[in-house]
Chains A and B, each alone.
Chain A
Amino acid sequence: MNIRLARVDDLMGMQACNLQNLPENYTLKYYLYHALTWPQLSYVAEEDGKIVGYILAKMEEDVQEGDEPHGHVTSISVLRSYRRLGLAKRLMIQSQEAMATVYKAAYVSLHVRKSNRAALGLYRDTLGFTVKDIEKGYYADGEDAYAMRLSLKDLAR
């Protein structure tokens, strides 16, 4: 599997991949907005031109007072048939590096459904995220989200 920076012509493939995997979906314009605002942060896993996994990432735009600049993972997923290759981790690492070097991100945040144990395991055990907070009713269907964080301090240079 080829891991590389997402290009404009990957966005439709990312959108298709997201629609097959996750219940949170977006129109293409939202992908365009990510790519055209932070062109360094989104990555794809590709096999023979087909997008089999992606990370769609951004920088937090309104940083609260006292907070540091930080990145945010809008969406990350890998097609079921391409699991166990470590793709999510590889995608995440590339994006984190870019957040730290280009935007001096201090940490990266993401949300995960409370019920999504598989993803929780990935973020916590494989990628080293920790649960920072629980956001009540974060999802459209009323489910709570874990707000998770990973420090990028050791990546900054």
Chain B
Amino acid sequence: MPPAGIPPSRALPLKESGLFKEVLHYYEDRQLKKGLKTADAILKKFPKHGETLCMKGLILTHMGRREEGLELVKQGVRFDLTSHICWHVFGLIQKGQKNYEEALKSYTQALRFDKDNMNILRDAAHLQTQLRLYDALVETRHTLLRLRPQLRQNWIALSVAYHLRGDLAESKKVLEQFENIVKNVPDYDVEMSEILLYHIRVLEELSEYTEALALLDTHAKSRMIIDRVAIMEYRARILSKLQSPEAQQAWQGLIEQNPDCYDYYKGFLSSRAIDLDAVTDDIRPGALQILQDFVQQFPRAAAPQRLALSVSTGEQFKELVEPYLRTRLQKGVPSLFTDLKALYRSPEKRDAIESVVHALLDTLAHAPDAPCPSSIDPTVYIWTLYFLAQHHSHLGRHAKALELLDTAIAHTPTLPELYMFRGRVLKRLGDPYGAARWVDQARLLDLQDRFLNARCGKYRLRAGLIDEAVEVFGLFTKKDAVSPAQDLEDMQSLLYLIEEADAQLRNGNHAMALKKYLAIQKVFDDFEDDQFDFHGYSVRKFTINIYLNLLKWEDNLRSHPAYVHAAIAASRILVKLHDDPSMASAASDSHLSGAEKKAKKKAKKAEKKVQEEAKKAPSSTNEDKGLEATAPKDEDPDGTKLLQAPEPLERAAKLLKPLQTLAKSNIEAWVAVYDVAIRRKKYLQAVQALHHAHALQADSPELHVRLVDFKRRCAPNPALRVNMFSDTIGPGSSLSEKPDESVATVVSAFLPKLLPDEMSLEAYNSQFLQKHSTRGDAVLAAAKVSQALGAPREEVEAAVFNVLNADVELDIETAVAVDAFLSEIRSPREEEFRSAAGERFALSTVFVPHAKLPELRKSALHVPNVAEEKEEVIS
């Protein structure tokens, strides 16, 4: 007879019941093979025993037989819907698949049948945290504390749960209760120290500064808090908030501890009522005096010297900047210009720096061919030239910069920085091929340096030399990786992924570009998953302060520029794909040159070899592969499948979703959101996106294009037409599905604020053009609009050629966009434009005739012989 309450289908005879316990033990000891055998023994007699089926499925999953395992688990759950073991196993598997929502549902089921199971409760708490379900989290943590009040972590975890829910007062209460009952704290208990610091943070966030300070002082004195830097930082910060006269001394202590930390100076000055970010003339002398005193006290610290440059003006600045520059040029500090660049916001400071450095150069200059006179330190000479080259290039005087660099390189041909910067100047001039060649030369001067190597790879990507870039990256990636690109992706190198994706896009390979942008999305997904283990770990380690910072960081993760860029760029490709589905079926290799195809074949072969070798490696069948699926092998090496996947717009919308809260001030993001929303017929969202964009930059050319687009797409709707549109509409503007009336009402309420009501779109467009006729990007936008409105091609071409007029501001980027537009509308005048643009940007190479591109690309790889004899080695 089964014990009461156990359904007959679950009850096993004594023998099998013992076997089942063995299965559990084997699983816990990760003796998977034995566990499997034992489970099979039970199933032989009781093939429908749900719990055994689930355990077998779990074991198989650990052994890497994932699909089979999952199937068994599902079966097991079906056979025994009221078993907490079945639901727990199902939850474990779902958690392993990172399907946190479903996992939590399973755990909730499991808890219905075993409400006090600590393991399940703890796992549920982690899932609730991951999903930010803080009300439920508080409840779970309460239950855990009730079950085991003797565990420190259960108290802290409850306090954290309240904190996350925003209930600081409760959080504080729990900590106080905990501290009242805690006993036998050993000396030097790092954990207790962290808990107390957390308590002080809670008080600080409650603005209970006096209490916070008292708690801090008590426990600092008793040495319960042992993190000295934290004590000092908390103390200084809280004293400042209390506006206590003691604050100054506290900040002074921190500066002594670390005289290179800007925050400490800022804190010190604020205790003297000086805001370092807004120094006014009447407090300037006082602020400067304080900083000068610190310079005296800490002559080796750079921070006070540099801060004094920011604060000082006029003659005083000149006096200070001269020795600052001189000592660093003598030392050969490569970052000197980057360090001072921020000061250039003040023209006065900029000019002062220029005259100081030029004066210094005058004392060093000598005939270019003559050897350096012994009175002159060649190092200072070179670094001075290097500084000035950066200075002039920054101010747009690229020719001058090149001249200075050539002098420097003739003098010292062995310093990589000179070559790297020469490459950078060429890049700014629109010559990515020359740039790549020069940076490669820098790399060859120090083959041991990964930094130079990475720069070289990046510049090759900028020149569209993708295989060659990967080859050079491969000199530093892991030798046993499938490929250099895979290693960089596995190591989450966003720098590489972004550059390669952009390069693929410029080369017209949408499939590969999309693949790399989505690889970036995957990196961020992984970053999001990374926090999961810490929900349990940090509470056990009591590193609560930094854990709370982790959660906050995770919540804003996708505001990172790499994600924003990738999401927008990928969404553009997906929108293009929606507009022109033939893109997906177009031969994906058509754009590859013969050499590229060959290289690709070679890479594929190498990849195959690595995989075969991996297969040969001995593998024990008992090996635990864990619950998380390992990365499957790349089934889509050229991204074609990604391009062919269904529902491009839905995928784009998903990518862009986080930007609507995390990249609110990015107009490109709103434009991208609009482009997707309007095609998904989400009219309200489209209008909102336009509104956001409008608020950010009302005269944005990209927005102009979208406003017209929107009006054209909505216009045939009678509901809208009556309200707002009186113009006739060009061809191709009708939609199969129009906004329904309620949406139309909202739209009609919003749109007139963005777009004048009683005006034809043509007139609206020419009005925009007139207003911004001297802006290259606006001229291009207006031409795009008139093309969309059905103007004849010749007219559109003539309009866009206006960017070349003398009174139009045109940068290389816009000229490249113009060229791309001409190519898109298959203009016969494209080469004419390229030739004219090439003349306008005399040192550029991006506008050479298409036929010459292969030759140029080759030239980017050709490195002239570096001078063999190394005269003066400076590095």
Which A residues contact B (CB, under 8 angstroms)? 1-5, 7-9, 12, 15-16, 19-23, 25-29, 32, 35-37, 39-40, 47-48, 52, 79-86, 90, 94, 97-98, 101-104, 115, 140-141
Q: Is B450 an interface residue (CB 8 A)?
A: yes
B191 to chain A, nearest CB (A): 12
Which residue of chain B has its CB nearest to the CB of A118? B448
Contact check, A21 vs B543: say whether CB atoms are below 8 A apart: no
Contact check, B527 vs A28: say whether CB atoms are below 8 A apart: yes
> Cβ of B480: which chain A residues have Cβ within 8 Å of it?
140
Contact of B538 among A15, A36, A52 (CB under 8 A): A36
Interface-side segment among B487-495, B759-767, B862-870: B487-495
B98 to chain A, nearest CB (A): 14
Best-surrounded residue of A9, A20, A90, A98 (most CB of chain B within 10 A)? A20
> Cβ of B258: which chain A residues have Cβ within 8 Å of it?
3-4, 94
> Cβ of A15: which chain B residues have Cβ within 8 Å of it?
492
Contact check, A23 vs B450: say whether CB atoms are below 8 A apart: yes
Contact check, B338 vs A4: say whether CB atoms are below 8 A apart: no
Which residue of chain B has its CB nearest to the CB of A10? B553
Contact check, A8 vs B227: say whether CB atoms are below 8 A apart: no
- Given A3-B261, A82-B335: A22 and B450 within 8 A (CB)? yes
A17 to chain B, nearest CB (A): 10
Assembly CA distance A36 to B331 (angstroms): 38
Which residue of chain B has its CB nearest to the CB of A80? B451
> Cβ of A23: which chain B residues have Cβ within 8 Å of it?
450, 476, 478
Assembly CA distance A90 to B331 (angstroms): 17
> Cβ of B302: which chain A residues have Cβ within 8 Å of it?
1, 85
Which B residues contact A (CB, under 8 angstroms)? 188, 190, 193, 226-230, 257-258, 260-263, 300, 302-303, 331-335, 338-339, 342, 417, 448-452, 454, 476, 478-480, 488, 490-496, 526-527, 530-531, 533-534, 537-538, 541, 543, 545-547, 549-550, 552-553, 560
Contact check, A101 vs B226: say whether CB atoms are below 8 A apart: yes
Contact of B545 among A25, A39, A47 (CB under 8 A): A39
Which residue of chain A has its CB nearest to the CB of B552? A8
Contact check, A40 vs B339: say whether CB atoms are below 8 A apart: no
Assembly CA distance A35 to B2 (angstroms): 51
Contact check, B493 vs A82: say whether CB atoms are below 8 A apart: no
Contact check, B417 vs A8: say whether CB atoms are below 8 A apart: no
Assembly CA distance A68 to B480 (angstroms): 36
Mostly helix, strand, loop or mixed at chain B's interface? Answer: helix
Which residue of chain A has its CB nearest to the CB of B300? A86
Contact check, A21 vs B188: say whether CB atoms are below 8 A apart: no
Contact check, A140 vs B478: say whether CB atoms are below 8 A apart: yes
Contact check, B547 vs A36: say whether CB atoms are below 8 A apart: yes
Which residue of chain A has its CB nearest to the CB of B303? A2
Contact check, A81 vs B338: say whether CB atoms are below 8 A apart: yes
Contact check, A102 vs B338: say whether CB atoms are below 8 A apart: no
- Given A25-B491, A36-B534, A104-B188: A85 and B553 within 8 A (CB)? no
B479 to chain A, nearest CB (A): 6
Closest 3 CB pairs of A and B: A3-B260, A80-B451, A39-B546
Assembly CA distance A140 to B450 (angstroms): 17
> Cβ of B333: which chain A residues have Cβ within 8 Å of it?
84-85
Assembly CA distance A79 to B479 (angstroms): 23
Contact check, A20 vs B450: say whether CB atoms are below 8 A apart: yes
> Cβ of B300: which chain A residues have Cβ within 8 Å of it?
86
> Cβ of A48: which chain B residues have Cβ within 8 Å of it?
342
A119 to chain B, nearest CB (A): 11
Contact of A21 among B451, B493, B530, B538 (CB under 8 A): B451
Contact check, B334 vs A83: say whether CB atoms are below 8 A apart: yes
Assembly CA distance A3 to B259 (angstroms): 9
Contact check, A90 vs B260: say whether CB atoms are below 8 A apart: yes
Contact check, B260 vs A98: say whether CB atoms are below 8 A apart: no
Assembly CA distance A38 to B666 (angstroms): 36
Contact check, A4 vs B229: say whether CB atoms are below 8 A apart: no
Contact check, A8 vs B479: say whether CB atoms are below 8 A apart: no
Assembly CA distance A9 to B556 (angstroms): 10
Contact of B190 among A28, A35, A84, A103 (CB under 8 A): A103
A97 to chain B, nearest CB (A): 8
> Cβ of A9: which chain B residues have Cβ within 8 Å of it?
549, 553
- Given A20-B450, A102-B227: A2 and B190 within 8 A (CB)? no
Assembly CA distance A26 to B495 (angstroms): 15
Contact check, A102 vs B190: say whether CB atoms are below 8 A apart: yes
Assembly CA distance A141 to B338 (angstroms): 36
Best-surrounded residue of A19, A21, A104 (most CB of chain B within 10 A)? A19
Contact of A32 among B303, B331, B488, B530 (CB under 8 A): B530
Which residue of chain B has its CB nearest to the CB of A31? B530
Which residue of chain A has its CB nearest to the CB of B488? A19
Assembly CA distance A27 to B188 (angstroms): 32
B438 to chain A, nearest CB (A): 16
Contact check, A47 vs B549: say whether CB atoms are below 8 A apart: no
Contact check, B229 vs A98: say whether CB atoms are below 8 A apart: yes
